[in-house]
Amino acid sequence: MLAPLLLVVAAGATSIAAGPATAQPAAKPRPLGQVVPAPASVSEGGPSYALSDKTRIRVDDDSNEAHRIGAYLADVLRPSTGYALPVTNRDAKDGIRLRLSSDRSLGAEGYRLQSGRYGVTITAARAAGLFHGVQTLRQLLPAAVEKDTRQQGPWKVVGGTIEDVPRYGYRGAMLDVSRHFFTVDQVKRYIDQMALYKINKLHLHLSDDQGWRIAIESWPRLATYGGSTQVGGGPGGYYSKADYKEIVRHASSRYLEVVPEIDLPGHTNAALASYAELNCDGIAPPLYTGTEVGFSSLCVPKAVTYRFLDDVVRELAALTPGKYLHIGGDEAHSTSHEDYVTFMDRAQAIVGKYGKKVMGWHQLAGARPVEGAVAQYWGYDATSAAEKAKVVDAAKEGTKLVLSPADRAYLDMKYNKDTPLGLSWAGLVEVQRSYDWNPQTYLPGVPDGSVLGVEAPLWSETLSTNDHIEFMAFPRLPGIAELGWSPTATHDWDAYKVRLGAQGPRLAALGIDFYRSSQVPWAAR
Ligand code: TNX
């Protein structure tokens, strides 16, 4: 089943790399396998389909969601092609068809894409699969299709069939909105970029020493005071509940689940500054705008700490349709181990009380993870064997893992010593290093089935604009997305770098400011 894919990818390698920069748009459509993340199986053959001014987008008449996805696809394609692309449920001979079927083999997120002389049909069992299939279709068209002004065609899709289901159900990206605040529109822009690569979780790091970013009615000063600054002393900001709901709504329209994080019991200076009673000594510290970590802690023995926690978790859980609530738990260097364990027991119970699954950074493994808890591993090559062993032992006991190794998946690590943004505590992380690892074997000894997937965190100590986000996330985020989506058999840097190179003109057409790594043979168009 996989052999055709590897062949197609290899063929793509020659045609893309050989294309001279000045050539006119080629009439030959791009190979079916030239997609990131690599599809599970590809078989190319038969006539290609050319979009035209007669093309319609047909959807099953009884699904609102399929209609919405059809309208979304039309919005992507209309400006560049100039075609009307009506979305219709009437039978049309020629066109793009979005079809929900009862084919269980496609699972919750998989899809089948078939293209031939009369059109392209995307079939899925669930709407999320149609949406992912639409992302694949975008990549099968010339990169200029992503531009927002009229472009020269032809707009051809090569003939053949893709059958595609994800390797992992958890394919995440995290944005730190605490160290620097990002507006609702900025978060939505990043969501749209994640969706291109079939990412399905948005983890929002909503609180840290430098800022509390979500309105909590029962503790209003958390946001109004605790959210009033950021690293470097800028004005900060926070999401009202309506803002937050808008982020959740937009994410779910892109088939992403939002995973909110309140980092506890360390990384809490913004909360401690907002309410004196949360401090063991009853004295509120000043707001913090530096970048040190590990100096703050909630007061574990005080009863008020758990009233605060209950209120925050209750209000946040009520805003969260997704199943996870992330309680941080990293770098609690100012909390004794005994206090840490006590605190995490209580915090996990509160998350359970409000119907959510606990997620925490992997230090949770050194406490007492509750049944069903998910630990997010963020160690790196230099992490001690003892620390890794705690995580592996927890996995053996049933704790599930999401992998975010800092020297692979951290999008805030510098690419090389000259990268103007980012940090380097876990090392320099070029594009190949970021891609070239296997989530299943990364922590030896972890039982099969423990790994739920991968996540690429973006910490924002040094990042404050869209360009900053995009320069650090691209092109590493597509590589992490591929590790989460594609079968291991497709894993091959030499093939991947060519497929990634083909994303260059596409990212440029979308106005994404990406790092043009010299490791990647960037296509000219
Ligand atoms: C470590 S990763 C942290 C964050 C920093 C990040 C910077 C983690 C769970 N904690 O507080 O922002 O490094 O790379």
Domain around 322 = 170-486
User: For 231, what's the count of Cα atoms within 13 Å in the CB-facing half-sphere?
Assistant: 19
| Residue 425 Ramachandran class (φ > 0 left, ψ -120 to 50 alpha, else beta) | alpha
Q: Is 459 in the pocket of ligand 1 (CB under 6 A)?
A: yes
- The span from the CA of 125 to the CA of 129, in Å, is 7
| Rounded (10°) angle between helices 493-501 and 3-18 | 50
Q: Is 377 in the pocket of ligand 1 (CB under 6 A)?
A: no
Q: Are residues 287 and 431 in the same domain?
A: yes
Quote the ligand 1 centre to 22 CA distance (angstroms): 44
Instruction: Quick: pLDDT tens for 279-319.
Output: 999 999 999 999 999 999 999 999 999 999 999 999 999 99
Residues 395, 291, single domain; the answer is: yes
Cα 208 to ligand 1 centroid, rounded to whole Å:
10
Q: Residue 508 corresponds to which tokens in the numbers above?
A: 């440029």
Q: Among 142, 164, 186, which residue terminates a domain?
A: 164
CB of 515 within 6 A of ligand 1: the answer is no
Is the beta carbon of 380 within 6 A of some atom in ligand 1? Answer: no
User: What is the three-class DSSP state of 64?
Assistant: helix
Question: 124, 142, 164 — which closes off a domain?
Answer: 164
What amino acid positions are annotated as catalytic residues? Answer: 331
- Is 266 part of any domain? yes
Q: Which atom of ligand 1 is nearest to the CA of 410?
A: 14
Q: How confident is the model at residue 79 (pLDDT cuts 50, 70, 90)?
A: very high
How many Cα atoms are found within 13 Å in the side-chain-facing hemisphere of 472?
A: 31
**Mean pLDDT along residues 368-390:** 97
Domain boundary among 164, 182, 206: 164
The total number of structural domains that make up the chain:
2
Asked if residue 253 and residue 124 are part of one domain, the reply reads: no
Which pLDDT band holds residue 103 (cuts at 50, 70, 90)? confident
The reported pLDDT for the residue numbered 310 is 98
Residues 290, 423 within the same domain: yes
Q: Give yes or no for a cis peptide into 457 (omega within 30° of 0).
A: no
Res. 97 pLDDT band, cuts 50 70 90: very high
What are 460-474's pLDDT values in tens digits?
999 999 999 999 999
Question: Which of 333, 459, 472 most suits a substitution to test ligand 1, by most atoms within 8 Å of the C-beta?
Answer: 459
Q: How far apart are CA 7 and CA 300, in angstroms?
A: 59
CATH number of the domain that residue 203 is part of: 3.20.20.80
Q: Could you give the C-alpha distances from 49 to 30, 55, 163, in angstroms and in order?
A: 12, 10, 18
Tell me, yes or no, whether 395 and 252 share the same domain.
Answer: yes
Which helix (H) or strand (E) element contains residue 457? strand 451-458
Residue 21 has pLDDT above 60, yes or no: no
pLDDT, residue 5, reads: 40
| 109 Cβ below 6 A of ligand 1 | no
- Give the pLDDT confidence score for residue 90 in this predicted structure: 79
Q: Token pair of 284, please? A: 């509120």
Q: Give, using CA atoms, the residue closest to atom 6 of ligand 1.
A: 459
Residue 418 CB coordination number (10 Å): 7
Residues 140 and 277 in one domain: no
Does residue 157 sit in the same domain as residue 281? Answer: no
Q: What is the residue with the minimal CA distance to atom 5 of ligand 1?
A: 459
Q: Does position 26 have pLDDT exceeding 70, yes or no?
A: no
d(CA 185, CA 182): 8
Which strand (E) or helix (H) includes residue 98? strand 95-100
Q: How far apart are alpha carbons 304 and 380 in whole angstroms?
A: 36
CATH of the domain at 61: 3.30.379.10
Task: Say if 192 falls within a structural domain.
Answer: yes
Residue-wise DSSP of 147-162: SSS------EE-SEEE
pLDDT value, residue 159? 97
Confidence of residue 55 (pLDDT cuts 50, 70, 90): very high
**In the chain, what percentage of residues exceed pLDDT 70?**
94
pLDDT at 4 over 70: no
Tell me the pLDDT tens digit for each residue of 416-452. Answer: 999 999 999 999 999 999 999 999 999 999 999 999 9
Report pLDDT digits (tens) over 476-525.
Answer: 999 999 999 999 999 999 999 999 999 999 999 999 999 999 999 999 98
What number is the average pLDDT over the span 139-166? 97
pLDDT at 188: 98
Q: What is the pLDDT of residue 63?
A: 84
Please state, rounded to an integer, the average pLDDT across all residues of the chain: 94
Mean pLDDT of all residues in 13-21: 34
Residue 246 has pLDDT above 70, yes or no: yes
Ligand 1 pocket test: which of 179, 288, 293 has the largest number of ligand atoms within 8 Å of its C-beta?
Answer: 293
Cα-to-centroid distance, 150 and ligand 1 (Å): 43
Check residue 28 and give its pLDDT. 64
How many Å lie between the centroid of ligand 1 and the Cα of residue 122? 40
Given a contact cutoff of 8 angstroms between Cβ atoms, the answer to whether 58 and 98 are in contact is yes
pLDDT at 10 over 90: no
CA of 117 to the centre of ligand 1 (A): 51
